[in-house]
């Protein structure tokens, strides 16, 4: 995600410096004009520091190292993390007098390439206005939802829905196949219907041709469902669908299915339905 976001900023002509723990993965950004740095502290003096890693522990580690060496003008934190983690980060940054925007995203790396990444943002409004042109360069715009950590809750809700929808999509796709129709025919209909969405369309090639090249790992999705269930407990909101989906995902992870895309939930559903899956080898678009 971070690579694709940085690539858009670099291609738009921004003066950017990039750090990634495994530097080799970031090196190709140099050909688009980005400066790929070796040490995190080289980012300490930047005007706006975008952070995109995995979990809150990783965010804490990375931002902690930057703050050890200097003070960026503003931090825009884009990883999917908890409300509590985000609030703790805000306190830490505020102690160092660094402005902070919580700005998680919707879309995978392919969506970013297609220019359709969206941000949900919370924090000081004037900081948002300063960061906004750069958020726009990375995709299809942003939604400002208010002060504090509100953007985190919006993103958690979004990804709980992502988990529930992919599980449902896998269930009905296997049902349609077992009843006798090709997956591409069923999904072709669904995608044109009122139930079709950018998401169902861009997942269709994976479900039809069984290309499970990772876009989002099962463990990262589990993290988000856990964040959703945690928020449900905090706000006393029952979330039965999220709970079942989390357990189904856990079954998949428990069987060692961790390295491919989260849409391998289709394989699990086929297994428990007595359905043998073969790629249909039909060219289907992703709608992006
Ligand atoms: N993929 C999606 O569709 C998607 C969509 C929306 C939001 N998200 C969220 O965006 C975030 C990133 O997701 P992703 O799919 O890009 O994950 P990913 O492919 O697993 O990449 C994780 C990135 O974080 C770095 N990282 C992890 N732990 C680190 C640490 N302790 N110190 C320094 N760097 C660390 C990794 O560096 P290395 O390269 O060295 O491993 C890598 O650059 C997650 O919070 C995810 O939930 C993902």
Distance, CA of 93 to CA of 39 (rounded, Å): 20
Least confident of 50-54, 143-147, 239-243, 284-288: 284-288
What does the pLDDT read at residue 127? 97
> What pLDDT digit, counting tens, does each position of 140-162 carry?
999 999 999 999 999 999 999 99
Distance, CA of 270 to CA of 240 (rounded, Å): 23
What does the pLDDT read at residue 233? 96
Query: In percent, how much of the chain has pLDDT > 90?
Result: 96
> What pLDDT digit, counting tens, does each position of 71-96 carry?
999 999 999 999 999 999 999 999 99
In the reported structure, the alpha carbon of residue 52 is separated from the centroid of ligand 1 by a whole-number distance in angstroms of 6
Q: Which two tokens stand for residue 16?
A: 């950017």
How many C-beta neighbours within 10 Å does residue 26 have? Answer: 19
In the reported structure, the alpha carbon of residue 55 is separated from the centroid of ligand 1 by a whole-number distance in angstroms of 8
pTM of the full structure: 0.91
Query: In percent, how much of the chain has pLDDT > 70?
Result: 100
Is 69's pLDDT higher than 90? Answer: no
Q: Any residues with Cβ below 6 Å from ligand 1, and which?
A: 1-2, 20-22, 25, 52-54, 58, 61-62, 79-80, 105, 108, 215-216, 220
> What pLDDT digit, counting tens, does each position of 7-55 carry?
999 999 999 999 999 999 999 999 999 999 999 999 999 999 999 999 9
In the reported structure, the alpha carbon of residue 282 is separated from the centroid of ligand 1 by a whole-number distance in angstroms of 31
> What pLDDT digit, counting tens, does each position of 191-227 carry?
999 999 999 999 999 999 999 999 999 999 999 999 9
Mean pLDDT of 238-248: 98
What does the pLDDT read at residue 135? 97
């Amino acid at each position: 995600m971070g690579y694709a976001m940085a690539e858009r900023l670099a291609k738009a002509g921004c003066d950017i410096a990039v750090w990634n723990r495994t530097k080799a993965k970031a090196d190709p950004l140099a050909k688009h004009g980005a400066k790929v740095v070796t040490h995190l502290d080289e980012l300490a003096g930047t005007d706006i520091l975008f952070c995109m890693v995995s979990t809150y522990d990783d965010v804490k580690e990375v931002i902690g190292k930057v703050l050890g060496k200097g003070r960026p003008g503003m931090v825009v934190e884009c990883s999917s993390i908890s409300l509590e983690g985000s609030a703790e980060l805000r306190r830490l940054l505020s102690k160092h007098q660094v402005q902070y925007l919580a700005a998680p995203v919707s879309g995978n790396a392919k969506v970013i390439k297609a220019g359709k990444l969206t941000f949900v943002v919370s924090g000081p409004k004037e900081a948002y206005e300063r960061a906004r042109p750069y958020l726009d360069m990375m995709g299809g715009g942003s939604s400002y939802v208010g002060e504090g950590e509100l953007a985190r809750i919006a993103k958690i809700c979004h990804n709980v829905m992502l988990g529930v929808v992919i599980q449902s999509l896998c269930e009905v796709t296997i049902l349609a196949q077992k009843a006798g129709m090709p997956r591409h025919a069923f999904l072709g209909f669904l995608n044109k219907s009122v139930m079709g969405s950018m998401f169902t369309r861009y997942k269709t090639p994976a479900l039809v041709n069984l290309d499970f090249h990772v876009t989002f790992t099962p463990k990262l999705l589990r993290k988000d469902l856990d964040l959703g269930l945690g928020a449900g407990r905090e706000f006393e909101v029952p979330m039965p669908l999220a709970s079942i989906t989390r357990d189904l995902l856990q079954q998949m992870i428990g069987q060692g299915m961790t390295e491919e895309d989260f849409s391998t939930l289709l394989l699990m559903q086929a297994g428990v339905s007595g359905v043998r899956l073969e790629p249909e080898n039909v060219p289907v678009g992703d709608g992006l």
